């Protein structure tokens, strides 16, 4: 099978590409900076350039045995959510989704499956109980972004292409992503929960994320949304205590809620 990965230079994309290439899949990662990433991708993974917005230059790579994994989108963390940043975050997800639909419409043969990224932020803040794939979308900014992200490839349904939506929790990996940033304060003995620590914290290990992606991509009966998360979510305080124990550091220094709002603005409420 040929696998095209949009947004494949991040944590999930790199791990998935390496896993597929090890099993001798033909893997092509589409990147806006192909020269920068060619030497950094796993062995056996091809990197091709694209503009991040359209199907120009890669639609012809689609065949009847192709799987497309659309992970493209700027990370929500890293800067305050100004009005301009909100527009960029949303557009960085909608444009690639529309490009996938346009590419498939122009392709000589339809791909076998499209895996569309999303996140458990789709459901909005929740402190009352478990959520399933049938739970309604939330109404805060991350929820609206996720809903638009998923809808960006909804046009595939009329084209008869199997579409899988992955609503992913926080992906944990020691080398990349959120976990190294979480670990940093503990290295200096100043780790602890965020705010009151009551916030739910859903997570998934990178190996489980890749295994779930492979299963959904390769299983013909899999369609629609799937939550990719550990079976039992923790609170932020519980996760902080576990992280401190694993790192042999105390977890005693909470970050006050007002400080989070001062630094992150609206993002601090998620």
The encoded tokens of residue 161 equal 């292409």
For residues 214 and 250, give the distance between their C-alpha atoms in angstroms, rounded to a whole number: 38
Q: What is the CA radius of gyration of the chain?
A: 19
Sign for the pseudo-dihedral over CA of 203, 206, 208, 210? positive
Residue ranges of alpha helices (H) inside 71-177 are 83-106, 141-151
Which residues are bridge partners to 235 per DSSP?
A: 200
Residue at token pair 């390769």:
218
* pLDDT by position in tens, the chain (length 270): 899 999 988 999 999 999 999 999 999 999 888 778 787 788 889 999 899 899 988 888 898 889 999 999 988 776 677 889 999 999 999 999 999 999 999 998 999 999 999 999 999 987 666 788 999 999 999 999 999 999 999 999 999 999 999 999 999 999 888 888 888 888 888 888 877 778 888 899 999 999 999 999 999 999 999 999 988 888 888 988 999 999 999 888 776 553 344 334 444 455
Which residues are bridge partners to 203 per DSSP?
A: 170
| CA distances (Å), origin 61, targets 92, 154, 220, 250 | 22, 21, 22, 52
Cα 29 from chain centroid? 15
Measured CA angle at 203 (ends 198, 206), to 5 deg: 160
């Amino acid at each position: 099978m040929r696998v095209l990965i949009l947004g494949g230079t991040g944590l999930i994309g790199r791990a998935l590409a390496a896993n597929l290439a090890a099993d001798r899949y033909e893997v092509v990662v589409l990147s806006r900076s192909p020269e920068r990433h060619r030497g950094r991708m796993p062995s056996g993974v091809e990197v091709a350039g694209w503009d991040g917005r359209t199907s120009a230059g890669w639609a012809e790579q689609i065949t009847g045995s192709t799987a497309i994994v659309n992970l493209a989108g700027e990370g929500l963390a890293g800067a305050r959510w100004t009005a301009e940043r909100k527009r960029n975050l949303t557009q960085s997800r909608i444009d690639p989704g529309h490009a996938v639909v346009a590419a498939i419409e122009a392709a000589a043969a339809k791909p076998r499956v499209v895996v569309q990224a999303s996140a458990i932020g789709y459901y909005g803040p929740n402190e009352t109980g478990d959520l399933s794939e049938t739970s309604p979308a939330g109404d805060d900014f991350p929820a609206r972004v996720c809903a638009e992200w998923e809808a960006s490839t909804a046009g595939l349904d009329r084209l008869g292409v199997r579409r899988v939506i992955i609503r992913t929790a926080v992906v944990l990996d020691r080398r990349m992503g959120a976990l190294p940033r979480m670990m940093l304060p503990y290295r200096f003995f100043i780790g602890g929960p965020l705010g009151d620590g009551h916030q739910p914290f859903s997570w998934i290990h990178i190996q489980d994320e890749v295994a779930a992606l492979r299963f959904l991509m390769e299983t013909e009966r899999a369609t629609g949304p799937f939550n990719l998360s550990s079976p039992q979510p923790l609170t932020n305080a519980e996760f902080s205590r576990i992280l401190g124990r694993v790192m042999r550091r105390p977890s005693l220094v909470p970050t006050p809620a007002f400080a989070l709002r001062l630094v992150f603005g609206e993002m601090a409420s998620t």
